[in-house]
RNA sequence: GCCCGAGUGGCGGAAUGGUAGACGCAGCGGAUUCAAAAUCCGCCGCCGCAAGGCAUGUCGGUUCGAAUCCGACCUCGGGCACCA
């Protein structure tokens, strides 16, 4: 073979690995284990560059750890339940099961050529009855352990399609298909009691040292521990409610220090008081009904215009002789706190906007020490650590930081029996019921005599029926008579199966544990989870920073309580890495009505001249030679400006089908090979940031791999060389080993790649002996092998390496080869670089200073003045200050 | 709206308190070639003939020294509990 030829070599080495069983994970008590996991994909049917990047990162770590002597577990599976399968069923009449398994087969076929070091023998899909049956067993154990409860929750209800909508199916408050105004509807639902673990999930975050700080912060804020005060505001006129007379409104506040500034009470439209009053007040009922049409997301609530309805009731201020009007506010939710708040406009922007709108009074509870201005358009909300001057503070605080004042206020109210200090969490219980077909059936039965009864474990899995139709909206399980009707597991009488299925987040909350024993007839097996758990390195998108990761952490605890995981695995992911997206430019033209029309990258011709990039529709460019006999592609821009259609280039955006800025990994692998795709996604951009896919970047990656191949093939071509240069090459080699190792260990793959580029330049330019070059290229192959495993095997084999490079131990940098004898120091004059000197590494500070002051540029700059100060930082810099 | 990030040449980025722009792309010049592709060598932040000046989203601060630390702002991205 005389050239780099990935099309033939890549399948060859993949076969070699398969035959040798190189990547099968084995429990090997003689070796330390390492578990690498990438967030498993949803089987959409097509892999995209984001997948390639995600799995390449995991593969680099897996292959590297393997070389370092670890017994590695690197599995792959499919997050296979979810709405797209049902949508496909509705749109194309496909069966969700067939559609999903076909997609899995397609995606696996696209993924295999990339050469990932995966143990495919452990593959499973969450829609396999073998998997979800064990999930049902977990559910039953958790139900019996008191980790699951049932209660009412609000869902998006489409009154036309008579179905529950996901948040993404609600567009501008309307159902995506019916276009009907969506309503809030209460349903009884199953919940995981995750809020019982709020404090534990919060404090345990401190132990997750190898998680990104930002993810821990996001989770911490999400859990939202707060200390506040619950105070009763007595109604001046008690009102008859559904469950007796309501004579006060309890309000929870994290800012009880500002009670003097309270100027109104706002209650939720679902508050018992609101429900009691609306019966006799049609106008209020209409307002409340309107509120109940709002979306269920926090975002919808927070961004909606703040509106209120005055109830006419008043409540007494608990410590001052005045009354506050009671309003219904669309921004107060019954699920939070007590469903009622006191409004303090001066120190809360939302309350201030509300007060200005409805002409409610605004009074300062405190001022800044420097000024005592009344609040205008903006609420006064200084950091809680800044001292402020209080006015008529209930606990008698005059000057203090807000934090101190809050603590003292809570104490004072408790001492005087006027309120209750409380710790609350923002985290709510995890509603897991979904009114959908394509999910894991909730294994319970509703019996008229026995109530809610869990299915017997021997009857698991409760399998989804296959004879379903999606011609009508709603959940087909709900109208499937033979599936729905069943025997009560307790009394044996005719009963009804639960027709709700589980949230797909449940599926992904324990798959990491299942990979340790994917075929077991129990959810997990002790000796396997003992050996393999935890996941040592977890890799996935930042979009999962909160929900998926928090739910998984909860599940690990629940599985420990129910005996499915050891105590040591209570935090399932030792280290977490969140990678960025793969982006691409978007190409648009406008149609006759001015709307954007998107074009695929391959439909666009980019013409680049003098630093300007312009794009044209390729079809027109291809037509040109016929139209113009003297067509010169170099001069295409000028010609195209006259006859071509200009295409606008919109810089990097997340790849999406609708914007047509997608690059298909399959076509990249076909034209350049898997190693090029892998090398490209690892180079240039740091892995936590987004990477922009560019055609020229992919070509550059391909060219470099060809160059590396040639350097190896031509080790002897330039003659025996000169052994006098060997030491320099070996120094460069050891420096490269150190840099690549540090790059992989520190998830800075782009820096590892840069070091390999530099090393290739060094090998190319050296006059060292052929033997030294051979050694350099063998090491180069090893260092490249995690990123470009096929090429590495090829070079290794070509240069006579023993066995597979995948089995060779990772090279170690010799520390004595990394030290330099002399060092070049920049010399600054008043902080600006003027010159530099090269001195022996260990030169004493005084001598360095003397040399620096004797430097021509320094003498010139001093103009005869004496330096005021000379700063010498050994090994780094000299700064002369006058 | 709230929470969390990110902003450095024409482009991707490097430098985490000490020479801003490593390495790569694009571009420019040269070698090789009948020619082209490929390959190889060199140049390459901006202004300036030069000396020098200006430059890390914007404005201010700390420091002998700031891309890096602090404060305010701007823009873009992620999440907001039924998308996965």
- pLDDT tens-digit map of A674-727: 999 999 989 888 888 877 677 778 889 999 999 999 999 988 877 777 888 899
**Residues 6 or more apart in contact with residue A377 via CB below 8 angstroms:** A356
What percent of chain A is modeled with pLDDT above 90?
56
Dig out the tokens for A762 from the structure: 């060094």
Q: What tokens does A84 get? A: 């797209």
pLDDT at A803 over 50: yes
- Nearest by Cα to A39 from A717, A724, A436, A576: A576
Measuring from the CA of residue A214 to each C1', which nucleotide is nearest?
Answer: B4
Is-contact A878 A828, C-beta < 8 A?
yes
* Run of H or E including A111: helix A96-111
Q: What does the alpha-carbon distance between residue A340 and residue A327 come to, in Å, rounded to a whole number?
A: 10
In this predicted model, which residue has the larger pLDDT, A798 or A173? A798
Of A716, A717, A718, A684, nearest in space to A700 by CA: A684
Q: Residue A607: pLDDT band by 50, 70, 90 thresholds?
A: low
Regarding predicted confidence, which is higher, A36 or A643? A36
Predicted confidence at residue A625, as pLDDT, reads 46
Tell me what pLDDT residue A3 has.
84
Asked if the model's pLDDT at residue A433 lies above 50, the reply is yes
Phi first, then psi: give them for residue A751, nearest 5 degrees.
-75, -35
Which nucleotide across the nucleic acid strands is nearest to A753, CA versus C1'?
Answer: B23
Who has greater pLDDT, A633 or A66?
Answer: A66
A662 or A469, higher pLDDT: A469
Q: Which residues contact A825 (CB under 8 A, 6 or more apart)?
A: A836, A837, A838, A839, A848, A852, A875, A876, A877, A878
Residue A158's SS3 state is: strand
Q: Is the dihedral of CA A126, A129, A131, A134 positive or negative?
A: positive
Distance from residue A755's CA to nucleotide B14's C1', rounded to whole Å: 11
What distances in angstroms separate CA A882 from CA A104, A622, A873, one per listed residue?
71, 66, 18
How distant is C1' of B40 from CA of A761, in Å?
Answer: 12
Q: How far is the CA of A62 from the C1' of B16 (A)?
A: 28
Residues 6 or more apart in contact with residue A91 via CB below 8 angstroms: none
Residue A677 φ then ψ, to 5°: -60, -45
Pick from A344-348, A637-641, A754-758: least confident? A637-641
pLDDT band at residue A661 under the 50/70/90 scheme: low
Angle at A543 between CA A436 and CA A530, to 5 degrees: 80
Closest nucleotide C1' to the C-alpha of A43: B84
Structure tokens at A467: 């004879």
Q: What pLDDT was estimated at residue A223? A: 95
Residue A882: its pLDDT value, please? 78
Residue A796 parent element (H or E): helix A789-798
- The β-bridge partners of A125 are A78
- Residue A429 is given by DSSP the state -
A290 Cβ neighbours under 8 A, 6+ residues apart: A330
- Closest alpha carbon to C1' of B28, residue: A610
User: Residue A663: helix, strand or coil by DSSP?
Assistant: coil
Question: Is residue A484's pLDDT more than 60?
Answer: yes
Point out the nucleotide closest to A707 (alpha carbon to C1′).
Answer: B39
Report long-range pairs for A751-760 (Cβ below 8 Å, ≥24 apart).
A752/A682, A752/A783, A752/A787, A753/A679, A753/A682, A753/A683, A753/A684, A753/A787, A754/A683, A756/A780, A756/A783, A756/A784, A757/A704, A759/A732, A759/A733, A759/A783, A760/A704, A760/A707, A760/A708, A760/A711
Cβ contacts of residue A533 below 8 Å, gap of 6+?
Answer: A35, A512, A513, A516, A565, A566, A568, A569, A572
* A83/B84 CA-to-C1' distance in Å: 9
Closest CA to A306 of A339, A269, A278, A334: A269
Flag whether pLDDT at A376 surpasses 90: no
Cβ burial A364-375 (10 Å sphere, 16+ → b, else e): bbbbeeeeeeeb
d(CA A736, CA A724): 20
CA of A756 to C1' of B29 (A): 27
Residue A489 near residue A446, CB atoms below 8 Å = no
Weakest mean pLDDT among A157-161, A233-237, A281-285, A614-618: A614-618
Q: Which nucleotide is nearest to A434 (CA to C1')?
A: B82
Please state, in angstroms and rounded to a whole number, the distance separating the CA atoms of residues A647 and A668: 24
Angstrom distance, A653 CA to B76 C1'? 11
Residue A252 vs residues A198, A228, A333, A410: alpha-carbon distances, Å: 19, 7, 12, 12
Q: What is the pLDDT of residue A747?
A: 94
The two tokens of residue A658 are 């609708």
Q: What is the pLDDT of residue A35?
A: 98
* CA–CA distances in Å: residue A870 to residues A244, A677, A849: 83, 51, 7
Instruction: Write down how long chain A is.
Output: 882
Element (H, E) at A190: strand A183-192
d(CA A784, CA A679): 9
What are the φ/ψ torsions at residue A842 (nearest 5 degrees)?
-100, 20
Pick the closest to residue A188 from A442, A439, A509, A555 (CA basis).
Answer: A442
- DSSP H/E element including A34: strand A33-38
Is the distance from CB of A156 to CB of A164 less than 8 angstroms? Answer: yes
pLDDT at A202 over 90: yes
Average pLDDT of the segment spanning A844-873: 83
**Do residues A134 and A516 lie in contact, with contact meaning Cβ atoms separated by under 8 Å?**
no
Tokens 């959940």 belong to which residue? Answer: A475
pLDDT, residue A777, reads 96
CA of A876 to C1' of B21 (A): 19
Backbone angles phi, psi at A598, to 5 degrees: -95, 150
Q: Report d(CA A867, CA A291) in Å as an integer.
A: 73
Nucleotide nearest to A508 in CA–C1' terms? B84
Residue A651 has pLDDT above 70, yes or no: no
Measured from the Cβ of residue A348, the count of other Cβ atoms closer than 10 Å reads: 20
Burial of A707 from C-beta contacts in 10 A (0-12 / 13-18 / 19+): middle
Gap from A813 CA to B19 C1', Å: 27
Q: E strands within A432-488?
A: 433-434, 444-447, 451-454, 485-487
How confident is the model over A367-394, as a mean pLDDT?
79
Q: Which nucleotide's C1' is closest to A879 (Cα)?
A: B64
Place of tokens 């060094």: A762
Nucleotides of B under 7 A from a protein CB: 1-6, 10-15, 18-20, 22-28, 38-41, 53, 64-66, 77-84
CA distance A345 to A361: 8
Task: Look at residues A230, A122, A139, A116 and name the one whose alpha carbon lies nearest to residue A191.
Answer: A139
Chain centroid to Cα A349, Å, comes to 30
**Nearest residue to A603 via CA among A695, A701, A507:** A695
Confidence of residue A845 (pLDDT cuts 50, 70, 90): confident
Least confident of A286-290, A428-432, A471-475, A736-740: A471-475
- Report CA torsion sign: A377, A379, A380, A381: negative
Q: What would the mean pLDDT of A775-802 be, rounded to a whole number?
A: 96
- Fill in the DSSP letter of residue A441: B
Whether A559 has a pLDDT exceeding 70, the answer reads yes
Question: What residue has its CA nearest to the C1' of B7?
Answer: A689
Q: How far is CA A818 from the centre of its chain?
A: 38
Give CA–CA dist A345/A191, Å, rounded: 36
Instruction: Give the tokens for residue A765.
Output: 């330019």
The token duo for A642 is 């006259």
Of residues A62 and A2, more confidence is placed in A62
pLDDT value of position A549 = 96
**Distance in angstroms: CA A113, C1' B82:** 36
The bridge status of strand A604-609 relative to strand A596-599 is: unpaired
Helices A6-20 and A674-682 sit at what angle, rounded to 10 degrees?
A: 90
- Nearest Cα neighbor of A852 from A871, A832, A823, A882 is A871
Higher pLDDT, A824 or A166: A166
């Amino acid at each position: 073979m005389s050239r780099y030829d990935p099309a033939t070599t890549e399948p060859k080495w993949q076969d070699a690995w398969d035959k040798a069983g190189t990547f099968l994970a084995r429990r090997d008590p003689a070796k330390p284990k390492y578990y690498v996991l990438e967030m498993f994909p949803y089987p959409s049917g097509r892999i995209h560059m984001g997948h390639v990047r995600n799995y390449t990162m995991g593969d680099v770590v897996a292959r590297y750890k393997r070389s370092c002597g670890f017994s590695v577990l690197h599995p792959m599976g499919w997050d296979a339940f979810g709405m797209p399968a049902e949508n496909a069923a509705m749109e194309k009449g496909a069966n969700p099961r067939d559609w999903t398994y076909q997609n899995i087969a397609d995606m696996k076929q696209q993924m295999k050529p990339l050469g990932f070091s995966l143990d495919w023998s452990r593959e499973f899909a969450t829609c396999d009855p073998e998997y979800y049956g064990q999930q049902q067993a977990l559910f039953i154990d958790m139900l019996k352990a008191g980790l699951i409860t049932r209660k009412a929750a609000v869902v998006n209800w489409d009154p036309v399609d008579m179905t529950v909508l996901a948040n993404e199916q609600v567009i501008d408050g309307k159902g995506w298909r019916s276009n009907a105004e969506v309503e809030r509807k209460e349903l009884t639902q199953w919940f995981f009691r995750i809020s019982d673990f709020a404090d534990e999930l919060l404090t345990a975050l401190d132990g997750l040292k190898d998680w990104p700080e930002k993810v821990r912060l996001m989770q911490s804020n999400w859990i939202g521990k707060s200390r506040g005060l619950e105070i009763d505001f007595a109604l001046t006129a008690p009102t008859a409610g559904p469950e007796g007379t309501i004579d006060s409104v309890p309000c929870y506040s994290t800012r009880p220090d500002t009670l003097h500034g309270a100027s109104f009470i706002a209650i939720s439209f679902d508050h018992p008081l609101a429900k009691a009053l609306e019966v006799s007040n049609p106008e209020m009922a209409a307002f409340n009904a309107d509120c109940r049409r709002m979306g269920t997301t926090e975002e919808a609530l927070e961004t909606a215009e703040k509106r209120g309805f005055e109830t006419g009731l008043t409540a007494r201020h608990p410590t001052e002789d005045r009354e506050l009007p009671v309003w219904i506010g669309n921004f107060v939710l019954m699920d939070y706190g007590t469903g009622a708040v006191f409004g303090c406009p001066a120190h809360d922007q939302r309350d201030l906007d509300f007060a200005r709108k409805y002409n409610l009074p605004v009074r300062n509870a405190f001022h800044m020490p420097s000024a005592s201005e009344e609040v205008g358009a903006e609420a006064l909300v200084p950091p809680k650590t800044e001292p402020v001057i209080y006015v008529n503070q209930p606990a008698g605080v005059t000057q203090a930081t807000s934090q101190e004042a809050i603590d003292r206020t809570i104490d004072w109210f408790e001492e005087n029996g006027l309120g209750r200090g409380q710790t609350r969490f923002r985290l709510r219980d995890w509603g897991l019921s979904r009114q959908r077909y394509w999910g894991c059936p909730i294994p319970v039965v509703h019996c008229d005599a026995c109530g809610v009864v869990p299915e017997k474990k021997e009857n698991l899995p409760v399998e989804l029926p296959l004879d379903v139709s999606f011609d009508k909206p709603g959940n087909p399980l709900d109208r499937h008579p033979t599936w729905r009707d069943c025997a009560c597991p307790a009394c044996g009488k005719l009963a009804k199966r639960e027709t709700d299925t589980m949230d797909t987040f449940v599926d992904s909350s324990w798959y990491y544990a299942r990979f340790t024993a994917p075929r077991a007839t129990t959810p997990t097996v002790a000796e396997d989870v003992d050996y393999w758990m935890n996941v040592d390195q977890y890799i996935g998108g930042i979009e999962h920073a909160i929900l998926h990761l928090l739910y998984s952490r909860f599940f690990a605890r629940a599985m420990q309580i129910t005996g499915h995981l050891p105590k040591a695995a209570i935090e399932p992911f030792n280290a977490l890495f969140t990678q960025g997206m793969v982006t691409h430019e978007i190409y648009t033209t406008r149609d006759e009505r001015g709307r954007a029309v998107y074009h695929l990258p391959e439909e666009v011709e980019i013409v680049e001249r003098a630093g300007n990039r312009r794009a044209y529709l390729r079809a027109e460019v291809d037509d040109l030679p016929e139209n113009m006999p003297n067509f010169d592609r170099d001069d295409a821009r000028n010609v195209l400006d006259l006859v071509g259609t200009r295409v606008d280039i919109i810089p990097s955006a997340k790849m999406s089908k609708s914007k047509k800025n997608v690059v298909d990994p399959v076509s990249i692998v076909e034209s350049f090979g898997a190693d090029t795709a892998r090398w490209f996604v690892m180079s240039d951009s740091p892995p936590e940031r987004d990477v922009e896919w560019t055609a020229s970047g992919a070509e550059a990656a391909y060219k470099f791999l060809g160059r590396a191949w040639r350097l190896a093939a031509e080790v002897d071509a330039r003659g025996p060389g000169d052994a006098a240069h060997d030491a320099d090459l070996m120094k460069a080699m050891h420096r490269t080993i150190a840099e690549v190792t540090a790059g992989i260990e520190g998830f800075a793959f782009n820096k590892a790649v840069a070091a390999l580029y530099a090393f290739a330049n060094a090998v190319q330019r050296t006059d060292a002996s052929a033997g030294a070059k051979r050694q350099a290229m063998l090491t180069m192959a090893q260092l490249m092998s995690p990123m470009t495993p096929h090429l590495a095997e090829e070079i290794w084999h070509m240069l006579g390496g023993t066995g597979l490079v995948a089995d060779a131990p990772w090279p170690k940098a010799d520390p004595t080869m990394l030290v330099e004898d002399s060092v070049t120091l920049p010399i600054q004059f008043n902080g600006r670089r003027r010159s530099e000197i090269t001195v022996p590494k260990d030169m004493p500070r005084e001598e360095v200073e003397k040399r620096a002051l004797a430097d021509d540029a320094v003498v010139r700059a001093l103009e005869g003045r004496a330096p005021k100060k000379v700063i010498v930082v050994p090994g780094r810099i000299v700064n002369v200050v006058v």
